[in-house]
Amino acid sequence: MTKFINLHTHKFSNLSDVIEVVNQYPWEFNTSVPNYSIGIHPWYIDENRIQTDLEIIKQKLKLEECLALGECGLDKRIEIPLELQISVFKKQLEIVKQTNKPIILHCVAAYDEVIAMKKEMKIENPMIIHGFSKNEQVAKSLLNNGFYLSFGKYLLRNKDLEKVFTFAPENKILLETDTIEESIYQVYEKAAAIKGISLEQMKAIVFTNFSKIFS
């Protein structure tokens, strides 16, 4: 049976028909979560803890149950200086480059910077923008540069995003819940309705993409 994939969630729900990539932070790690990603989110950069956090990330990325680096990235709408964010992001990318594991990205108003960094550092690992909410132009730019787009919260909340989701190529999309109350099933139902396909087809598309990215 093809399982539902939840590419990015902050709560482990232990559903038998869902593979969840649960977001973990190095400083509050939960050992009972079977599959997770780990990273330093730009909101929570603490200069007193960066080295320790990076060391934990390095160790966890060697483990099979650690599926990805993230969420990590850049956010221009927060107080933490962009230079510091870039430095911490680059250090995490250097670590993940030693593996073939994907990167789950938090990106706010810094798409050009993230694209430039992917090129500059020659990142071969799959890069996924989680919680995508932007317009077709931004989507095109990311897709042209080899990024994947994960949709969730804003697909349920923002009518304008439906056009972008319709346009997004089937082999480049993933689905997630992040921190919303709605279930991953609701996200899939909405996604299938927008694409005009059955729920089973939607599951197959995302499962295929997930299997390829997380091989």
Instruction: Quickly list DSSP for 130-153.
Output: TT----HHHHHHHHHTT-EEEE-H
DSSP structure string for 11-80: S----TTEEEEEEE-GGG--TT-SSEEE---GGG--TTTHHHHHHHHHHHTTSTTEEEEEEEEEETTSSS
Annotated binding-site residue? 112: no
State yes or no: 178 annotated in a binding site. Answer: yes
Is position 106 annotated in a ligand binding site?
A: yes
Cα–Cα distance for residue pair 175/59, rounded to 1 Å: 27
CB atoms near residue 54 (< 10 Å)? 17
Question: Is 71 marked as a binding-site residue?
Answer: yes
Dihedral of alpha carbons 89, 93, 95, 101, sign: positive
Residue 59 and residue 45 in contact, taking contact as beta carbons nearer than 8 Å: no
d(CA 106, CA 129): 6
Q: 141: which residues sit within 8 A by CB, 6+ positions away?
A: 111, 115
Question: Which residues make up each annotated binding site for a divalent metal cation?
Answer: 71, 106, 130, 178
